[in-house]
Amino acid sequence: MAMMSSGGAFFLGFIVSTCTFYLFPMEAPLYKNLHKLDMLVPSMNNLKVENESLNWKVGGPALINLEHPHLKGKDSSVADDIYNKVRILCWVMTCPSNLEKKARHIKATWSRHCNTVIFMSSIDNPSFPTIGLNVTEGRDQLYWKTIRALHYLEQHHLNEADWFLKADDDTFVIVENLRWILANYTPEVPIYFGRRFRPFIRQGYMSGGAGYVLSKGALQRFVEGFRTNVCSHTSSVEDVALGQCMEKMGVQAGDSRDSLLRETFHPVVPEILLAGKFTRSLMYRIYCYYPTVEGPQCCSDLAVSFHYVSAELMYILEYYTHHLRAYGYQYRYNPRLPDNYTRLLAH
Amino acid sequence: MPHAPAERVHKMYSEGGSFMKGMLLGGIFCIVATLLSSFNFGHQQHTDHHNHHHVNAPSKEELLRLPEHKRIELSQNIRVYCVILVEPKDLAYWAAVRETWSKHCDKAEFYSSEEVKVFESVSVETKDPWIMLRKALKHAFDNAKDHKWYFIARPTTFAIIENLKYLLLNKDPDQPFYLGHMVKSGDLEFIELSGGIVLSSEALKRLVGVLGDSSKCPEQGRMIWKLPEDKELAVCLKYTGVFAENAEDTEGKDIFNAKSVNSLINEAMAQTPQEVAESCCSDVAVTFNGHSPNNMHVMMFGVYRLRPFGHKFHDSLVFLPPKDSDND
C-alpha cells in the first residue's frame, strides 16, 4: 500500500465526506427539518383556544367548567348569555375499561361545552376523575347504573344545574344546540327530551344511546318515584325502563325537533342518516315516534347528538361543528331564541 | 528494524487521524453550505413581491381597509370556474361531487375521458391524464374567459368554494397565480392535483400560449418516462414564468389539503392529543382529498349546516346559498 502523507489523507477525507453528502440526499432531510422548525413557531401561536386545563375546576369527581372554549373571530355573546341561563350538567356513562379508549376523547371534545361534566363508572377513579356507582359492569346492570347515577345527582348536584343530560361514552353532543331547545322550557316543570321512540310506552320513551336530558323537576320526580316505590328496577333495558318511570311519575316526554320539525337527537352516526338508506328501513320507521324523513332533512342544522361515534369521529365532528366553515356563507336556516328565553334568569 | 512496524503503525494512525479530520471538516463544510443556501432562500421570500412561495388569505384588517361597497362588489364579482376531470370508473365520486360542492362553483364543468350516458360532461376523448388536463384547460380558456379564476380537481377532492373566494379576494387575476398544496420534488415545485389547483386568468392564458410549443410543453411530456400530469403542468408553467405557491390561512396553516380530514385528525391525535380539532386543519380550509362519496355528504352537512347555536361571525364578505339545492 502506498504511503500517503498526512496532508494527503486529510484532503482525501474531505473529498470523501463532501461527495457522500451530495450523493446521498442528506440535504433534503436537513431542509425538511429546518422547515419543521419554521412550522413549530407558528403552531405555538395557533393555540387560540384557551388552555383547557386552566378552565376546569375539579369539584371532587365533577369537572366544573369555568370558561367554556372560546374561538378567535367569533362573536359568542348569545352563546355566553344562554350558557348562564340554561345550565346543563352532562353525565357520561362509562366503565373502567373504556376510560382510555373512549371517555378520554369525550373529555377532550364536546364535554368541555357543558357547565359541569361527571363521568359515571363502576369504580371510583380520582385522577380521571370518575365516580364509582357501586355496581358491576355489563348490559344487565345498565338500569342499576342509571338509577344510582340519577340518585347521586339529585343528592349532590341538584342546585348546580337546570338540566341533566345523560350520554354514553360513544355519544357526541353539541351542547349549545341543546341549550337552544331547552331555552323554551322552565326547568322546574317535569319534562324530558331525547330521540323519541314509540314502542312499549304510551307517551313513548327516549333512546338511551342518542342521549336524553331531564329537567330538574323530572330528576326530582324520578327519585321520588323510587322513594315511594312507584318506580323500581323493572328491567335492565335502561331507556325503556326509565321511560316507564317517567310516564308513571307524570313527567312529560318532550318534542325535541327544531322549528322545521327536523330531528335533533340521533341514534346513529351522520353518514348513515345523510347518505344511507337506513331511514327507509321498516324497523327505523316503526321505532321513531315522529314521521321519518330521508335525505338531508333527516337532521336539523342545530343537531344535538349522534351515537356509535368512534374516537376519531368525535374529533372530526368537533372540527366540523366548532371549526370548519364556509367564510361569509349565509345559512338557509336562521332560527331565533324562543320567547320563553326572556323569562330565564342568569346564574 | 524492530521499530519499523511500530513506526508504520504510528504513521497509519496519524494518517487515519488526518483522514478522519478531513472527513469531519468536509461534513461540517457541507452542513454549513446547506444552511447558508436555505437561509438565502428564506431571505428571497421577503424581497420578491410575487416570487415568494406562499400566499395568505386576507386578514380581517386587510379586508376592512377596503370600503364596504368594494367588498360587496368583490364578493359578487369574483367568479370561479371549476374544471373537474373524471373517468367512468369515478362514477360514485362524480355523483357525489355533482350533488355536493360543485353546486357552489359559479360554473362547474366535468371533463370526461369518454362520453358517459348518465351524466353530462365534455368528452376529451383520451385516457392519458396529461392530455386530458391540457384539453380541459384549453376548453376552459376558450369557453369561460369571463370567469377570472380556474379551479381544477379530481372527483375525489372536496372543495369549499367560498373559502377559495375568500383566499382570492384581494388577489389580481391579471397576475399569474398558480396556487394550492405545494410539493417540492427535487428542483421542481408543483401543486398537487389531489389538493386542487388554482390558476388565475393570466396564468391560464400563459399556459395556453405555451401548449402549442412542443419543445417546451409537448403532449407526450418532456421526460422519457411519464411524469404525473400535475408535474407536467408545473414544468410548462415554469417556462412562462409562473411559479407554484402554497396557500395558507392567517395562522400559517395549509388551506389546500391532499389528505382527508380523517387522516389529518389521526395525525393530530398522535401529535397534539389535547387540541386535536384545534390544530389538525384550518378553519377556512378549501380542500380535502380522499373522502368516500358518503363522507362527502357528511362534509357538506358539516360545512354548510351543522354549527353550534349562539355564535356569529362578522365576516367581511357575503355569499348566498345556491338555488335549487337543499343539502346546504
Among B14, B252, B306, the residue with its CB nearest the CB of A320 is: B306
Q: What average pLDDT does range A19-26 have in this prediction?
A: 63
Chain A contact set for B315 (CB, 8 A): 327-328
Q: Could you tell me which of A113, A212, A214, A216 has the C-alpha nearest to residue A161?
A: A216
Say whether B278 and A10 touch across the interface (CB within 8 A): no
In this predicted structure, the answer to whether residue A25 has a pLDDT above a threshold of 70 is: no
pLDDT band at A54 (very low <50, low <70, confident <90, very high): very low
pLDDT at B11: 72
Across chain B, mean pLDDT equals 89
pLDDT > 90 fraction of chain A, expressed in percent and rounded = 72
Chain A: give the shortest CA distance to residue B271, in Å.
12
pLDDT tens for residues B222-275? 777 889 999 999 999 999 999 999 999 988 999 999 999 999 999 999 999 999
- The residue ranking higher by pLDDT, A36 or B58, is B58
pLDDT at A32: 39
Only one residue has cell 364596504, namely B68
Among A5, A299, A332, the residue with its CB nearest the CB of B321 is: A332
Chain B contact set for A21 (CB, 8 A): 26-27, 30
- The residue ranking higher by pLDDT, B280 or A37, is B280
pLDDT at A21: 66
Say whether A177 and B309 touch across the interface (CB within 8 A): yes
pLDDT at A68: 63
pLDDT band at A42 (very low <50, low <70, confident <90, very high): very low
Q: Which of A326-330, B11-15, B39-43, B239-243 has the lowest mean pLDDT?
A: B39-43
Q: What average pLDDT does range A215-232 have in this prediction?
A: 97
Q: Is B15 on the interface with A (CB under 8 A)?
A: yes
Say whether A302 and B252 touch across the interface (CB within 8 A): no
Q: Is A172 on the interface with B (CB under 8 A)?
A: no
pLDDT band at A38 (very low <50, low <70, confident <90, very high): very low
Chain A: give the shortest CA distance to residue B127, in Å.
30
Say whether A10 and B268 touch across the interface (CB within 8 A): no
Q: Could you tell me which of B160, B220, B228 has the C-alpha nearest to residue B191?
A: B228
User: Phi, psi (5° rounding) for residue B83?
Assistant: -105, 110
pLDDT tens for residues A307-319? 999 999 999 999 9
pLDDT at B75: 82
Residues 38 through 77 of chain B touching chain A, CB cutoff 8 Å:
38, 60, 75
Chain B contact set for A108 (CB, 8 A): 273-274, 276
In this predicted structure, the answer to whether residue A9 has a pLDDT above a threshold of 90 is: no
Chain A contact set for B306 (CB, 8 A): 174, 301, 303, 320-321
In this predicted structure, the answer to whether residue B32 has a pLDDT above a threshold of 90 is: no
In this predicted structure, the answer to whether residue B140 has a pLDDT above a threshold of 70 is: yes
Chain A contact set for B305 (CB, 8 A): 296, 301, 331-333
| Cα–Cα distance, A93 to A77 (Å, whole number) | 31
Say whether A46 and B277 touch across the interface (CB within 8 A): no
C-alpha dist (Å) from residue B153 to B133, B140, B201, B205: 10, 13, 17, 19
Peptide bond before residue A129 is cis, with ω within 30 degrees of 0: yes
Say whether A327 and B162 touch across the interface (CB within 8 A): yes
In this predicted structure, the answer to whether residue A61 has a pLDDT above a threshold of 90 is: no
- The residue ranking higher by pLDDT, A53 or A13, is A13
User: Phi, psi (5° rounding) for residue A165?
Assistant: -100, 130
Q: What average pLDDT does range B208-223 have in this prediction?
A: 87
pLDDT band at B38 (very low <50, low <70, confident <90, very high): low
Q: What average pLDDT does range B59-75 have in this prediction?
A: 80
Rg (CA), chain B: 25
The CA-based dihedral angle spanning residues A323, A328, A334, A338, taken in that order and rounded to the nearest 10 degrees: 60
Q: Count CA atoms closer than 13 A to B176's CA, side-chain side.
A: 18
Q: What is the pTM of this model?
A: 0.83
Q: Sign of the C-alpha dihedral, residues B162, A78, A190, A131?
A: positive
pLDDT band at B37 (very low <50, low <70, confident <90, very high): low
Q: Go through chain A and tell me how many residues it has.
A: 347
pLDDT tens for residues B85-131? 999 999 999 999 999 999 999 999 999 999 999 999 999 999 999 99
pLDDT band at A13 (very low <50, low <70, confident <90, very high): confident
Residues 160 through 189 of chain B touching chain A, CB cutoff 8 Å:
160, 162-163, 165-166
Q: Is A230 on the interface with B (CB under 8 A)?
A: no
pLDDT at A52: 38
| Cα–Cα distance, A126 to B159 (Å, whole number) | 45
pLDDT at B111: 97
Q: Is A332 on the interface with B (CB under 8 A)?
A: yes
pLDDT at A4: 56
The CA-based dihedral angle spanning residues A10, A16, A17, A21, taken in that order and rounded to the nearest 10 degrees: 160
Across chain A, mean pLDDT equals 87
- The residue ranking higher by pLDDT, B146 or B32, is B146
pLDDT at A69: 67
A88 DSSP β-pair partners: A163
pLDDT at B144: 87
Q: State how beta strands B107-112 and B122-123 pair.
A: parallel
CA A106 to chain centroid: 6
Say whether B312 and A31 touch across the interface (CB within 8 A): no
Q: Which of A44-58, B17-31, B131-145, B218-232 has the lowest mean pLDDT?
A: A44-58
Q: Could you tell me which of B105, B315, B327, B245 has the C-alpha nearest to residue A325?
A: B315
Give this complex's ipTM: 0.83
pLDDT at A331: 96
Among A13, A48, A49, the residue with its CB nearest the CB of B20 is: A13
Say whether B303 and A326 touch across the interface (CB within 8 A): yes
Q: What average pLDDT does range A133-140 have in this prediction?
A: 87
Q: What average pLDDT does range A66-76 have in this prediction?
A: 71
Q: Go through chain B and tell me how many residues it has.
A: 328
Chain B contact set for A3 (CB, 8 A): 11
Q: Is B26 on the interface with A (CB under 8 A)?
A: yes
Q: State how beta strands A191-194 and A252-253 pair.
A: parallel
| Cα–Cα distance, B286 to B316 (Å, whole number) | 18
Q: State how beta strands B197-200 and B149-153 pair.
A: antiparallel
